[in-house]
Structure 1
Amino acid sequence: MATTKRRINFTNRKRISHEAIDIRLLDTPPGAAPRATAELKLDGFGFPETAEVAIEAYRGSSLMRFGCGTVGNLSVPPLMIIDDIDVGGNVQFRVKVVDTHGVVGLLAALASHVRPKSKDDGDGRRSLLTIRYHDLGSELWRVSVDENEPPALVLNYRATGIEDRIINDPLVRGLLMPAAFRIVLEKLVLLTPPDEDDETDWKRDWLKFCDEELGIEDSPFELDKDERAEWIDEAVKVFSSRATFLEKVRAKAGEV
């Protein structure tokens, strides 16, 4: 729903915790516009009851804005169809609270770089490697890694059944996932170190996974080039072992 543009004053802006926001991407057919649902919990922040609330879905410089009523009377759309932004990247979200009193609208609070959850995310957890579809020509898959966007496994939407094969065929999964994991780590170590206090930084999530789930404690940003290569090799080795790719391939083949 379109809203009137107004100048925004950033004075005394508050931050909305991402824990107060639950945005989930829904399953859509390849090539279809993304769809999402949202739940906001803005109680306890001290925002004016009459302040307007909006969710913005964006890719790059393009965005769609969805009005959500006011703090005192939230009216979040039951379904957000994101069909008017640029294609070719991950969808991210912002939540804004705007105090409309006075001549200039005051941006009272903001949550930026909100990463949506997917069907694969458990409560309080987010998928490290999201899946999205694109026309890749003759390529079947690709990994997208960017400083400001979480990594994504990009699948060719013209390759019928490719996601199902990745999920259900242990050989395909075992060939693809360690390679994709390695690509992300190789790109990660060349980027700027994550801000440990920034909950929106995907690099922090990946390093936390390597530390807590794989037992790879060293930070690659404190290592030299050769040590980083060894760090990546060890992380991929442990990741593959924990996922039991080889064992699942042998089991399906009937081997002991």
Structure 2
Amino acid sequence: MPRRFNYTDRQRILREHVSIRVVQEQGGGLSFEGAIDLSGYGISKKHPQARIFVEAYRGATASWKRFDFGSVDAISPPSDRSLDEFRVPEGILFRVRVTATDSEGVGRLVAEADGVRPQLPGDDAQAVQPLIQHMPADDIGDEVWRLDFTGEMPLLKINSRIAVGVDQFLMEPRYRAVFAPAVMRQILTWILLIDRFTGDEHDDEDWRQRWLRFAARLAGSDHAAAGDDSGAIEDWINLAVEGFAKRIRARSSFEAGGSA
């Protein structure tokens, strides 16, 4: 029988209270370490026996795995926190769910944090929040790259079969000069013309807002001045992409054949 869940009065767990780090094991496998601070939410008084689950997922590939972290009054990470099913760390996100069950067996989602980006192997723990994630992909046919918007942040999928390799494709100025402005244009178009995003400009956790702030610095103006006029929005996107291309010296990098 499917378990029923009541989502009423669900609390939002701030991402600053969830710390997750993906670890690359010596044998090449992946696992993670996690710490959750629920002390400021009053859950321990109302639902001390509520269960805590941590879920790892990657929206672009529908990969998903759940881990039981014990109860609110006795948080206990499981010994097996393997993420080998995900193959590579890039693009993995996490959610934390706190669930309680009433006398009728109805599960209640008490609190949740979703779209938590972990610290990846090699990341600087103090680094600023990224604008995009990337991962090797073997499901995009003969395309060299493809953007995926199904997760909590844009994911740049790069064909794992390209001869130069994913890392070189990302880092070599000649390649970056060609694909990076196109990636930016597609992301801004998705935010403003497809998703029609009108979110809170002060929400630093929303990736769309971070992209718009970044683009505004490059365009020299805020997108809001364009209003709802699609043509004006496209003009603003062009200004932002032109500013970005200038910043990375796209034309000279391409003409130099990678010796920027």
What range describes the TM-score normalised by the shorter chain of this pair? 0.7 to 0.9
Q: Deviations over 1:48-95 (max 9, x none)?
A: 2433211123456774211112233322347441638xxxx9544321
Structure 1 residues 212 and 5: alpha-carbon distance in aligned structure 2, compared to 1, 3 A threshold: farther
Aligned mate of 1:226, from 228, 231, 240: 231
Quote the residue 2:43 is aligned against: 47
Structure 1 residues 125 and 80: alpha-carbon distance in aligned structure 2, compared to 1, 3 A threshold: farther
Q: What does 1:99-118 align with in structure 2 at a 5 Å threshold?
A: 99-100=100-101, 102-104=103-105, 105-118=107-120
CA contact (8 A) 1:35 1:80 kept: yes
Aligned length: 243
TM-score where L is the length of structure 2:
0.74
TM-score where L is the length of structure 1:
0.75
CA distance in 1, matches of 2:96, 2:165: 34
CA distance in 2, matches of 1:6, 1:199: 35
Structure 1 residues 198 and 252: alpha-carbon distance in aligned structure 2, compared to 1, 3 A threshold: closer
Structure 1, gaps ≥5 residues long: none
Quote the residue 1:202 is aligned against: 207
User: Per the alignment, in what secondary structure is the counterpart of residue 56 of structure 1?
Assistant: strand
Alpha-carbon distance, 1:96 to partner: 1.1
Q: Deviations over 1:230-255 (max 9, x none)?
A: 1111111222233344566659648x
CA contact (8 A) 1:90 1:149 kept: no
% identity of equivalent residues: 30
CA contact (8 A) 1:128 1:205 kept: yes
Q: What does 1:145-156 align with in structure 2 at a 5 Å threshold?
A: 145-146=149-150, 149-156=152-159
User: Per the alignment, in what secondary structure is the counterpart of residue 38 of structure 2?
Assistant: coil
Aligned mate of 1:239, from 236, 244, 258: 244
Structure 1 residues 22 and 125: alpha-carbon distance in aligned structure 2, compared to 1, 3 A threshold: farther
Alpha-carbon distance, 1:35 to partner: 5.2
Matched letter for residue 188 of structure 2: L
Name the stretch that deviates more: 42-51 or 117-126: 117-126
Name the stretch that deviates more: 19-28 or 159-168: 19-28
CA distance in 2, matches of 1:123, 1:213: 24
Quote the residue 1:192 is aligned against: 196
CA contact (8 A) 2:11 2:111 kept: yes
Q: Does 1:141 align with 2:137?
A: no
Structure 1 residues 40 and 155: alpha-carbon distance in aligned structure 2, compared to 1, 3 A threshold: same
Structure 2, gaps ≥5 residues long: none
RMSD: 3.7
CA distance in 2, matches of 1:209, 1:14: 30
Quote the residue 1:10 is aligned against: 7
Alpha-carbon distance, 1:162 to partner: 2.6
